């Protein structure tokens, strides 16, 4: 496994763990898939996205602009991992 | 034409500026001529189903073009609309459909089964109308909208226009009854002090199922402005993009909306030359939040407002007063009066605290099928037909007459701009196995306005799991009502006369730990 892939896996696990601990404790029967739509499934609401953005900014030391808080960037675990990867490379 | 009803206002807007955008919702746009035609079609469709003057049509839809058509179509048919929250759980919908005596309900296909099941026990209910894919036994909203318009009996300004449900301190919500006359009056008053006009483009992230959001539809139609609808604040990037793309001039919000917006990086640096007007209601912004909102949107004027469903809006602070009295909610809206009374019914002077009383044509006719609650809220004024609304809220005024909210006389919680009756949550908690005592209080919270905190104690021999209790609440209640924290006590504190002591519980604050830790 390449270094960047390992980092991607670590980020994925961390994001999943954060979502699990922060939002999914209310939904014990839900098995979240990486491509599941977080809003569509009702996993995260608007205030939840504010928490998620704060967590991602502080944990990965990246700055997320207002216009970047979109479904494409934060709508699923996969999207978040991709977005963090792109932000760290930029 | 001299508009007398809400439906007349749409007709007038379509006559004045038929090609102008009335509603923008995602990729869909509806001009005033199209909205007018669709409302006529839906009205004719409802009449064809047997809907009569004074019947209630429940509108259970997320923000989009459908609720606009459903509301104006129902009004044109002579019916009243009852907006219900599409995220409400089945037992709540069942109660509200039965209580309102709704003859029909309009909903989207994803909740059609739930609404259909909820309507089974509603005695007057006859027609489930589904936007999108219909289900067995339902009618297609789109087909009804395409009905050929037909001539109809005139709707009067004293006809029923809406029953709007609001949480009361005694459990299930109360249905607030309005006539066309009342709604047109208050919409006109708000349009006047905000200075709304046909060139405005209003971005509404607030649900149309709630009066604050709903009146932006009514006011946009009244002046022929454009209403841009979004589903809440979930992805704030969409909201920022809509502000720029749609050249938004008016942005209404509740504290939660503003708190999300002021937390966004880069928004304050954005050039939003069209945005001229911000309004806040639902709950007060703190002075520091207000300052942050003004820094973020430095070119726009902010109106701080206060109201309640029973009269829609009570007062507003003219923006030129914001620096001098940032904590004030201002003066009575145009065409109405307010004063403050002590417990003996005497008007109090500057600086003294009492209950705010309201007089004007904006006040409700009463609560639907609840004469006792109506009698507690509405008082006979000085002559037959003169009515005064008791706000139930404590206020004071300064020497210049500006109003300040002091507190509530009941224990209603305001969270995310929604009114929450603690008793509704307490009843759900009492229904959980092992709960002996339950008391729900609101505590101050920067993001939510107030956070819902539940305090419980267990029946002997039971161990209560806060997480399991929150899940139990989430199954029964709308999301905004689910306690942020459940605190388990050996026994809850009592007052001298043996009642649960909510003052002491409120003073405990948000509880021992935040969300993830203690739940």
Q: What is the mean pLDDT of each run of 10 residues along chain B (519 residues)?
A: 93 98 96 98 98 97 97 98 93 96 97 96 96 94 96 93 86 92 98 98 95 97 97 86 96 91 91 96 87 95 96 97 94 98 94 96 97 95 95 95 89 85 90 92 86 94 91 88 93 84 88 41
Chain B closest CA to A40's CA: distance in Å? Answer: 11
**Residue that wins the pLDDT comparison between A43 and B508:** B508
Nearest residue on chain A to B244, alpha-carbon basis: A67
User: Given this model, what pLDDT does residue B512 score?
Assistant: 59
Residue partners of B375: CB distance under 8 A and separation at least 6: none
- Compare CB distances from A64 to B240, B265, B516 and report the shortest one's residue: B265
- Mean predicted confidence (pLDDT) in A1-28: 80
Tell if the CB–CB gap between A74 and B236 is shorter than 8 Å: no
- Among A51, A42, A85, CA closest to A69: A51
User: Given this model, what pLDDT does residue B251 score?
Assistant: 98
Interface predicted TM-score (ipTM) of this complex, two decimals: 0.77
Instruction: Give the whole-number percent of chain A exceeding pLDDT 90.
Output: 42
| Pairing of β B337-341 and β B354-359 | antiparallel
CA distances from B214 to B67, B86, B200, B495 (A): 10, 14, 17, 41
Ramachandran assignment for B44, one of left (phi > 0), alpha (psi -120 to 50 degrees), beta (any other): alpha
Chain B closest CA to A24's CA: distance in Å? Answer: 10
Q: How many CA atoms lie within 13 A of B461 on its CB side?
A: 1
Biggest CA–CA distance in chain A, Å, is: 38
The structure's pTM equals 0.88
Cα dihedral angle (A19, A20, A22, A27), rounded to 10 degrees?
120
Residue partners of A52: CB distance under 8 A and separation at least 6: A18, A19, A22, A44, A74, A80
Nearest residue on chain B to A53, alpha-carbon basis: B264
Interface test with B, best of A38, A63, A67 (most B CBs within 10 A): A67
- Which residues in chain A are contacts of B485 at CB distance < 8 A? none
**CB of A29 less than 8 A from some CB of B:** no
Tell if the CB–CB gap between B234 and A45 is shorter than 8 Å: yes
Chain B closest CA to A89's CA: distance in Å? Answer: 20
**CB A44, CB A52: distance < 8 Å:** yes
Residue A51's SS3 state is helix
**CB B361, CB B335: distance < 8 Å:** yes
Tell if the CB–CB gap between A69 and B235 is shorter than 8 Å: yes
């Amino acid at each position: 496994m390449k270094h960047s892939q390992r980092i991607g896996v670590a980020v994925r696990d961390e994001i999943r763990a954060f979502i699990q601990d922060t939002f999914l404790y209310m939904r014990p029967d839900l098995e979240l898939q990486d491509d599941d739509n977080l809003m569509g499934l009702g996993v995260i609401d608007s205030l939840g996205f504010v928490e998620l953005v704060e967590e991602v900014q502080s944990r990965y030391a990246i700055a997320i602009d207002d216009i970047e808080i979109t479904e494409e960037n934060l709508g699923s675990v996969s999207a978040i991992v991709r977005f963090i990867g792109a932000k760290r490379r930029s | 034409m001299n508009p007398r009803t809400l439906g007349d206002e749409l007709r007038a807007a379509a006559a004045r500026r038929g090609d102008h955008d009335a509603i923008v919702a995602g990729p869909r746009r509806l001009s005033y001529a199209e909205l007018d035609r669709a409302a006529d079609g839906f009205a004719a469709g409802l009449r064809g189903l047997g809907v009569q003057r004074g019947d209630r049509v429940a509108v259970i839809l997320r923000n989009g073009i459908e609720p606009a058509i459903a509301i104006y179509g129902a009004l044109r048919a002579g019916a009243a609309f009852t907006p219900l929250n599409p995220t409400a759980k089945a037992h709540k919908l069942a109660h509200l459909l039965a209580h309102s005596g709704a003859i029909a309900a309009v909903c989207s296909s994803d909740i059609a089964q739930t609404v259909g099941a909820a309507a089974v026990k509603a005695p007057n209910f006859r027609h489930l109308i589904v936007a999108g894919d219909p289900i067995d036994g339902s009618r297609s909203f789109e087909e009804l909208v395409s009905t050929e318009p037909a001539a109809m009996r005139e709707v009067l300004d004293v006809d029923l226009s809406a029953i709007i449900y609001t949480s009361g301190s005694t459990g299930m919500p109360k249905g607030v009854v309005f006539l066309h006359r009342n709604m047109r009056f208050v919409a006109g008053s708000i349009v006047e002090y905000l200075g709304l006009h046909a060139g405005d483009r209003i971005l509404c992230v607030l649900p149309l199922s709630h009066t604050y959001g709903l009146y932006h539809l009514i006011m946009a139609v009244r002046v022929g402005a454009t209403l841009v609808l979004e589903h809440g604040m979930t992805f704030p990037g969409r909201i920022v993009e809509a502000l720029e793309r749609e050249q938004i001039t008016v942005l209404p919000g509740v504290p939660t909306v503003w708190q999300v917006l002021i937390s966004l990086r880069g928004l304050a640096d954005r050039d939003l030359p069209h945005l001229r007007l911000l309004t806040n209601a639902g709950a007060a912004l703190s002075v520091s939040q207000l300052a942050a909102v003004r820094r973020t949107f430095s070119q726009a004027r902010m109106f701080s407002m206060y109201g309640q469903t029973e009269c829609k809006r009570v007062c507003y602070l003219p923006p030129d007063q914001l620096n001098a009295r940032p904590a004030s909610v201002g003066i009575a809206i145009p065409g109405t009066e307010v004063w403050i009374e002590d417990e003996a019914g005497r008007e109090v002077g500057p600086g003294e605290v009492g209950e705010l009383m309201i007089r004007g044509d904006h006040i409700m006719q009463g609560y639907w099928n609840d004469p006792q609650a109506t009698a507690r809220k509405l008082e006979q004024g000085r002559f037959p037909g003169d009515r005064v609304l008791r706000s139930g809220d404590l206020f004071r005024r300064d020497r210049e007459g500006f109003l300040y909210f002091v507190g509530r006389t009941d224990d209603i919680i305001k969270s995310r701009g929604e009114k929450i009756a603690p008793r509704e949550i307490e009843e759900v908690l009492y229904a959980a196995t092992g709960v002996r005592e339950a008391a729900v209080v609101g505590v101050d919270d920067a993001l939510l306005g107030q956070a819902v905190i539940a305090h419980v104690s267990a029946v002997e021999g039971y161990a209560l799991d806060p997480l399991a209790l929150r899940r139990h609440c989430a199954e029964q209640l709308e999301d905004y009502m689910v306690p942020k924290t459940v605190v388990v006590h050996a026994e809850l504190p009592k007052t001298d006369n043996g009642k649960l002591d909510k003052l002491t519980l409120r003073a405990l604050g948000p509880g021992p730990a935040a969300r993830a830790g203690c739940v």
